[in-house]
Amino acid sequence: MTVEHATRSSRIGVALIAVTLVILAFAPYWGDRQTLRLLAEIYTFVALASLWNLLAGYAGLVSVGQQAFVGLGGYLLFALAILVDVHPVAAILIAGPIGALVAIPVAALIFRLRGAYFAIGTWVVAEVFRLLASQISVLGGGSGISLPVAVVIAMAPSRQMREFETYWLALALTGIILGAIVALLRSRHGLALTAIRDNELAAQSNGIDVWRIKFIVYVLTAFGTAMIGALIFLQKLRISPDTAFNVNDWTAFVIFITVIGGIGRIEGPIIGTVIFFLLRQALADLGSLYLLMMGAVAIVVMLWAPKGIWGLIVERLGWQALPLQRRLIPEKEPRGKS
């Protein structure tokens, strides 16, 4: 018996994705500066939303405090680059493991809370990080700090090269994170996660160590989120406690994207991000009205289409963009048998 993951539509999906990736990789050659920035922003949101989806949609851990790790990653970048003279790209890579290390005691604490209380607990943690950040005067305290010119130049001599580099970094990082998530879901642990997503109690009574898996997922998500956070603030070139740990930017939008796109499915965050950015372009900058509308749409989707837009598509058409199904293929009969 073997397990086969692909379906016909997923084969098409993977092919399309490969083609898209190649096109996107060459974007610096066909896109202008604004397009590159927009694309990079899209990638970071796809990554953040996919990570949040893994946490909430699969592991059942609803966090409204992931901005803690976005900000942590950002501050790690600035701290490492400014205080320890680390190359910014290296700093991004280091932010991941440090974020994971920080997540360990955090998880140990807040896992004592259940359900919605856990969610608020994650918010408290983010607040604590924000308050601590404003106490660190070498990094600008409450008003924040800009990335020194020397560090910026260390990335690449010309602005254009820097922009290309940041773009490729964003694409690569997002690709790696998505790849890692898909790999995780295809693995044995992934099967356990899907079981937890579908019915936690049943999963537990089938011998799955739910607590341990949730813990691992939380730490891994922090790993990825911190790296993305570092990347985001490398692009912004400036950080402050309020922007680093902003609930609206790093949690509200991410949650709405995932809910509207489809929680608990990999394709959901991607669809959601695309919709989110299309809407944003179409509606220009309506500021708080835009957030208000997103909130209302998210509520409507949550109550009347809880599987999101991708969930509706899957129900109607049975599509899978990625090879994540599991089908048992029995051994073929050996030749010669009558």
Partner 1 sequence: MQWFNVILQGVLIGGLYAMFAAGLSLIFGVMRLVNIAHGDLIVLAAYVSLLVTQGLGVNPLTSLLLVVPVMAVIGYALQRGLLNRSLGDDLLPPLLVTFGLSIIIQNGLLELFTADSRKLQAGAIEIQTFQLAQGVWVGILPFIQFIVAVLAIAALQMLFYRTALGRAFRATSDDQAVAQLMGLDTRHVFAMAMALSLAVIAIAGVFLAVRANFDPAIGPARLIFGFEAVIIGGLGSMWGTLAGGIILGVSQAIGAQIDPGWQLLAGHIVFLAILAVRPQGLFPKVSG
Per CB under 8 A, the segment of 71-79, 117-125, 233-241, 321-329 that binds partner 1 is: 117-125
Q: How far is the CB of 228 from partner 1 (least distance, A)?
A: 21
Return the residue of 291, 313, 319, 325 that touches partner 1, per CB under 8 A.
291
Return the residue of 21, 101, 109, 161 that touches partner 1, per CB under 8 A.
109
295 binds partner 1 (CB under 8 A): yes
97 binds partner 1 (CB under 8 A): no
Query: d(Cα 89, Cα 104) in Å, to the nearest integer?
Result: 24
Return the residue of 263, 271, 321, 324 that touches partner 1, per CB under 8 A.
263
Instruction: Write the burial class of residue 142 (CB in 10 Å: 0-12 exposed, 13-18 middle, 19+ buried).
Output: middle
Contact 148, 82 (CB under 8 A): yes
User: What percent of the residues of the chain are helix, what percent strand, and what percent coil, each to the nearest 5?
Assistant: 75, 5, 20
Helices 159-186 and 210-236 meet at what angle, rounded to 10?
170
Query: d(Cα 80, Cα 91) in Å, to the nearest integer?
Result: 6
Return the residue of 17, 24, 128, 184 that touches partner 1, per CB under 8 A.
128
Calculate ∠ Cα 125-204-118, nearest 5°.
Answer: 15
Q: How far is the CB of 120 from partner 1 (least distance, A)?
A: 5
Q: In the beta sheet, which residues pair with residue 4?
A: 327
Contact 56, 242 (CB under 8 A): no
Return the residue of 60, 88, 269, 308 that touches partner 1, per CB under 8 A.
60
The residues that touch partner 1, with contacts defined as CB under 8 A, are 56, 60, 62, 64, 109-110, 112-117, 119-121, 123-124, 127-128, 131-132, 134-135, 247-248, 252, 255-256, 259, 263, 288-289, 291-292, 294-296, 298-299, 302-303, 306
